[in-house]
Amino acid sequence: MDKITLTGIEFFAYHGVLESEKQLGQMFAIDCELVLDTSFCNDEIEKTVNYGDVALKIKSFACSNRYDLLESLANNLVSYLMYEYPLVEEISLTVHKPHAPIATKFSDVSLCITRKREICYLAIGSNLGDRKAYLDTVKAAVVQDKNCQFMAISTYTETPPYGVTDQPSFLNAVIKIRTFYTPNQLLQFCQRLEHAAGRVRLRHWGERTLDIDILMYGDKIIYTEDLIVPHPEMDIRDFVLAPLCEIDPHLIHPVRKMSVKRLLAALS
């Protein structure tokens, strides 16, 4: 991938925790690195990114919004730029605050964040109420969310309950999306949809109006208290592998180092 870099975009704004910062304001600067493929632009500016336009959008956004934290400014600005420039695959943004109110001599305070579009797969299931309607809400939410791009969804398949068998059958599917949500942001997105569907966790592997699991997040391997990716049991669940194989049979499991098609065949 290629990179377009803008350095030292200066502006006067009112970001800060202290009341004096909110009232008096101060100078800030932003460096921005855009990663994209420029090989097919054919000398047409419409097929690449107009860096002059980017600079003006950065300045306008930073001046017209107010945040207590640099973290909030940087994250919201990156989301805005990702939405505005769909050709960009990755953005690194550094916010400089050289006049921060610190009681010692220093030359600069800066925050750097990087966000990248990733292909993700979500397993969705329901065994209470209008099961199809609950699964449909996931696709609708992805389509409506500016941080996500809908790519594909598998056939809805009815399957027997897993783990706890004294409950109704499930309607299951897998949805493929492209997003610049971080893993934790994607988890929060899924949990918001579950909550909106009225999910109540009464027992492990129990009944649910809507269940959404992050199966894969790019080729990342994540192991935290709140999130494990790839999903630790996706390779032993046929009701996950079969719809995933329908969408992307040659997708490689980053831990097992096998394709979804081979994993499904081995399970069978």
Residues taking part in catalysis: 97
> Backbone phi, then psi, for 69, in 5-degree steps?
-115, 145
